[in-house]
Amino acid sequence: MPRKRDFVGVASLAAFETDERNQYAVMRALEIIGEATKRIPEAFRRRHPHIPWRRMAGLRDILIHQYEGVNLRALYITATVEAAGLVESLPAVIAAAQAEPVDD
């Protein structure tokens, strides 16, 4: 997540809407996050319902399949506003994941 946020930086929505390189970087980072989300075991996701797992995976699908029709305003808000709460939640989720036994 921090990498995606770094791409947007302090750019305004207007600047983001005209910067195709930045748009692509944010879209690609969100695609990777969504793909990684799909690989997290369902049981773990159920133990952390405050994380929007389905939304993250669903956004990946939208970005992959509707590249030309992506709403840049929504993408900007996701990357600058919605991600902030998620970034704050991640350290606790990561700690929980590291504390769980690994299934062999």
Is residue 72 within 8 Å of 16, Cβ to Cβ?
yes
What's the pLDDT at 13? 92
Structure tokens at 100: 């769980």
Give the global pTM.
0.78
Q: Which two tokens stand for residue 38?
A: 């799909």
pLDDT at 104: 47
Helices marked H in the chain — which ranges?
2-8, 13-18, 20-38, 42-47, 53-65, 72-77, 83-99
pLDDT digits (tens, 9 = 90+) for 74-95: 999 988 888 877 878 888 888 8
**Residues written for the chain:** 104
DSSP code for 36: H
**Taking a C-beta distance cutoff of 8 angstroms, is the pair 26, 13 a contact?**
no
Query: Would you state the pLDDT for residue 11?
Result: 79
Check residue 103 and give its pLDDT.
63
Query: One of 21, 39, 46, 65 is an active-site residue; which one?
Result: 65
* pLDDT, position 7: 56
65 in active site: yes
Annotated catalytic residue within 3, 45, 60, 73: 60
Task: Read off the pLDDT of residues 2-41 as tens digits, 9 standing for 90 and up.
Answer: 454 555 665 789 999 999 988 888 899 899 999 999 999 9
Whether 60 is a known active-site residue: answer yes
